[in-house]
Chain A
Amino acid sequence: MTAEKTAETTSQAEAPAGHDLLRLENIGVRLGGRQILTGVSFTVAPGQFTGLIGPNGAGKTTLLRVILGLTPPTEGRVLLNGSPRPRHGGRLIGYVPQKLAIDQDVPLRARDVVALGIDGHKLGFPLPSAKRKDQVNEALRAVGAESYADARIGELSGGEQQRVLIAHALIGKPKLLLLDEPLANLDLKSEQGIVSVLARLAREQRIAVLISAHDLNPLLRETDTVVYVAGGRAAAGPTDEVIRTEVLSALYGSHVDVLNVRGRIIVIAGDEQQEPQAHHPTDTGVIIGLDRN
């Protein structure tokens, strides 16, 4: 089983360079007179699990919005499967928002939310059918959410809601999953659960996953590549090549230390520009652990 998976991963890595699923070319975004992003370029291949990492307020959400077509870039272009992205609604991308804007009392079951992934953007109302039901059950199974399929969405925990939202995105058969801080405010076990589900989707269904996070720590076991955003710029590449003193110092525009402590890499970026992160292990910077065991 494990050997099979490894072989599959290898073949993905050897995919020809001309077949990038997503390609960002020199993206620049200016919002309200403020330069948010400058010269961001990276590519995502099918089945690739990429972490979009950076401190809060670095422009990760803006970058996701650019890819989704919600924020037009002032410079550069976004290519999906080699062609410019359709303005809206392309089903190549499945989007998972950070959280839902609903109360506990909303009478939507988890499976209703997933079903909205099939045709929630269409007019009229759907007729129940066996095929629909099977599709929903399959998506719920793929994320391990069958057991609470009939519970109200508002009564589920953050991690459970995330799984349901991933199923919602998954049911549209996307080639690329975009997730906006899905691990924020989750406990450790839910974090690991979500990351494992995403990694499995990337491996088994060759869905590219681009997941934004302010902390790389929970992703490290599964991510092949990382896009690190800081100071309005981004560095992309294999994790080991990006998370280095020279690369990150250039991004932050100030000296950054990358420490390796017993197989765990810790990034310390003392940066006046970023917001203080009181919940973080240090008040002065970002700490990223790299645990490859």
Chain B
Amino acid sequence: MGHFFSYIVEPGLLSSGPVRTALLVGTVVAVTSGVVGVLTVIRGQSFAGHSLADVATTGGAGAFLAGLNQFWGFLIAGVAGAAIMELIGVQRRRGRDVATGVVLGAALGGAALFLYLGTQTSSTTGASFTILFGSMFVISPDTVPALIASGVVALAVIAVLSRVLLLTSLSPELAAARGVPVRAVGIAYLVALAVAVSLSAVVIGAVLSTALLIGPAATSLRVAKRPSRAMLAAALIGTAATWLGILLAYDSYYWPPAGHGWPVSFFVVALVVVGYLLSYVRRPRRDRRARVAGQAQEEAPTQEAGACSPA
């Protein structure tokens, strides 16, 4: 058993500085992405999440060209992108999608330019890979406090706005009638989404960032029945995928073909997808039974009320 354990968990895994940083940051990011992701799926804004990831790519590439830390590039571009989307996208969901598409094309073009120029001037190709596909083991310890703080801010926004966000998702009209500033709430949520995407971009790369955002959330929504539980489940699923991904990436150091280890992002994304597929294997049937019972009793109040009405 001990031998088996040390085979799975390489000796020295937890004493390695980069691994510990990866585990810490990975957890913060997975929790933030899971919680924000659940609302993203509920609000039907996964496309906005994707687009913010593309915009963040541009920011990360720009930061690389300017010699700044990529996280700030991701974050600034993401928040700016969220603001632009909200400004040009009118209330309708469809209009929002079109507006998002316009921003998106321009953003990726910019990313291509910045990455090209950046690699030409610094003659490093690794940076492009890190921006696009992430590399958890090269996260600079200096940025860790900022990463954690950003995650906490995004989670706080969601916690404070949770009820209002749910109400506006149910019916914007109804929320407005109750005095909720629907637009301001939407902007606050988009900023939280931009932060989550930026964090995710640091861990698994800008291109893959939505995998950690949408994957665990979509899986949890298939099994959980309440938003709070879905958020908890998504956070746990994301964390599990991240930890296992780190573990596998560490183990893969001796794997073929290169003997340099496989990218963590690959493992994390693959595990998220496996989790999603597993949720299709077993799905609770309680809902359906409750529905049938509900239909059967639908008639009862009707008849009772009918009997009361004046003849």
**A residues in contact (CB < 8 Å) with B:** 1-2, 5-6, 68-70, 87-89, 93, 95, 97, 99-103, 105-109, 112-113, 116, 119-126, 143-144, 147-148, 150-153, 155-157, 159-160, 189-190, 192-193, 196-197, 199-200, 221-222
A193 to B286, CA, bound (A): 25
Given known A-B contacts A95-B177, A107-B227, A148-B291, A196 and B302 have beta carbons under 8 A apart: yes
Q: Which of B2-10, B108-116, B163-171 contacts A (4 or more CB under 8 A)?
A: B163-171
Given known A-B contacts A107-B227, A125-B163, A144-B301, A101 and B172 have beta carbons under 8 A apart: yes
Question: Do the beta carbons of B290 and A121 come within 8 Å of each other?
Answer: no
Given known A-B contacts A112-B227, A151-B287, A199-B309, A192 and B221 have beta carbons under 8 A apart: no
Q: Does chain A have a CB within 8 A of B142?
A: no
**B residues in contact (CB < 8 Å) with A:** 41-42, 44, 93, 159-164, 166-167, 169-180, 221-222, 224-230, 286-288, 290-291, 293-302, 304-306, 308-311
Q: Hey, which chain B residues are within 8 Å of A156, CB to CB?
A: 291, 294
Q: Hey, which chain A residues are within 8 Å of B309, CB to CB?
A: 196, 199, 221-222
One of B163, B299, B311 near A124 (C-beta < 8 A):
B163
Given known A-B contacts A101-B169, A102-B42, A107 and B293 have beta carbons under 8 A apart: no
One of A102, A112, A221 near B226 (C-beta < 8 A):
A112
A105 to B299, CA, bound (A): 26
* Consensus secondary structure, chain A interface: loop
Q: Which residue of chain B is the closest to A99 with respect to CB atoms?
A: B171
User: What number of residue pairs across chains A and B have CB atoms under 8 A from each other?
Assistant: 156
Question: Do the beta carbons of A2 and B308 come within 8 Å of each other?
Answer: yes
Question: Do the beta carbons of B297 and A122 come within 8 Å of each other?
Answer: no
Q: Hey, which chain A residues are within 8 Å of B176, CB to CB?
A: 70, 88
A159 to B295, CA, bound (A): 10
- State the Cβ distance, B37 to closest chain A Cβ, in Å: 13
Q: Which residue of chain A is the closest to B166 with respect to CB atoms?
A: A116
One of A103, A113, A119, A124 near B160 (C-beta < 8 A):
A124
- State the Cβ distance, B280 to closest chain A Cβ, in Å: 13
Question: Do the beta carbons of A123 and B164 come within 8 Å of each other?
Answer: yes
A109 to B44, CA, bound (A): 18
Given known A-B contacts A107-B225, A109-B226, A189 and B302 have beta carbons under 8 A apart: yes
Question: Do the beta carbons of B164 and A122 come within 8 Å of each other?
Answer: yes
Which 4 pairs across A and B sit closest by C-beta, in order of nearness?
Answer: A89-B179, A144-B301, A148-B294, A196-B305
- State the Cβ distance, B214 to closest chain A Cβ, in Å: 12
Question: Do the beta carbons of B171 and A101 come within 8 Å of each other?
Answer: yes
Q: Which residue of chain A is the closest to B301 with respect to CB atoms?
A: A144
Q: Which residue of chain A is the closest to B44 with respect to CB atoms?
A: A103
Question: Do the beta carbons of A147 and B297 come within 8 Å of each other?
Answer: yes
Question: Do the beta carbons of A120 and B290 come within 8 Å of each other?
Answer: no
Question: Do the beta carbons of A152 and B178 come within 8 Å of each other?
Answer: no
Question: Do the beta carbons of A193 and B226 come within 8 Å of each other?
Answer: no
